[in-house]
Amino acid sequence: MKALSQRRRHPLAAVALLLMGLLLTGGIYAVASNANQAKAQTTFSAGDIEEGEKLFVANCATCHGIGAVGTADGPSLIGVGAAAVDFQVGTGRMPLQMQGPQALQKPVQFTGEQIQQMSAYVASLGAGPAIPGEEELDLEGADPAAGGELFRVNCAMCHNAAAAGGALTRGKFAPSLEGVSDKEIYEAMVTGPQNMPVFNDANITPEGKQDIIAFLNIIEEQGSPGGADLGSLGPVSEGLFIWVAGLGVIIAFTVWLTSRSS
C-alpha cells in the first residue's frame, strides 16, 4: 500500500494522466470522424480495383505518384474516397489540362465505367467519402427554406447568394452552380474540391445537404423573376446599370434641349 501511495504522488502522474486523456479523446474523435465522413465504398469488385489501378498508372500517376502517395505536382489521394475521384474526373477537371490556380472544367475524358474503376482503386487505398447513392440524393422530404439558410451561412460568401459564382484570390474562383447535378453538389460538399472546405456530416448533416440541394434546384427553376439578373452580382451591377442608364438619359435630354434652342 505504501508503494502504491508513493506512485500516486509521483510528480509525473499528472502528466501521464493528461497524456492518457488526450490519447483517449483523440481516439474517440477519430472514430466519430470516420463514422461521419470516411465511409469506404464497399460495392466495388476486385476487377474494378485492378482495372482502376491500370487506368490510374497510365493517366494519373505522373502527378499523384505510384500508389497515389502524391508528388510535388499533385497531392496524395489516399483517404480522399471514391466521391472525390467521381467528382474530379466525372466533371472533366481531372486529368488536369494545365497547371494553374485551380483545375478548370472541360469535356470528360473517360467513360462512366472507367471513372467507376478509378474510383474503386482510390477507395481501396484508404477510407473516404463514398459516391452518394439514391438514399443520399432523395429530396422527397427536403426543406428548401432550411437549405437556403444553410447555403447563405456556409456557401454564399464564395458562390454568391444566388449561386452565380464569384471571384476569389490569386486567380481562383467559385464556379456557378447553375446546371450542376445533385450528385456533383453532394460530392463537392463531402470532398471539398479546389478551395472549398469539406462539409462532413458533423458540419452539415445528410439532411442538411439535401435541403441545400433542394434550395439550389428551386432557385434554378425560378430563374430571375425580377427581370434581367445582371450577372446576379447584387447592388454592384445594379448600381452601375442605374448610373450608366441614368447618365445616358440625362445626356440625351441635354442634347435634345440644346438642339431645340438652336
Element (H, E) at 166: strand 166-167
- 173 labeled part of a ligand binding site: no
Angle value at C-alpha 160, between 213 and 135, nearest 5 degrees: 10
- 158 labeled part of a ligand binding site: yes
- 10 labeled part of a ligand binding site: no
Query: Which residues have C-beta within 8 Å of that of residue 18, sequence separation ≥ 6?
Result: none
Q: 31, exposed or middle or buried, with CB in 10 Å at 0-12, 13-18, 19+?
A: exposed
- Joined together, the cell numbers standing for residue 248 give 445616358
What distance in Å separates the CA atoms of residue 147 and residue 213, rounded to the nearest whole number? 7
- 155 labeled part of a ligand binding site: yes
Which positions make up the binding site? 60, 63-64, 155, 158-159
Q: Which residues fall in the annotated binding site for heme c?
A: 60, 63-64, 155, 158-159
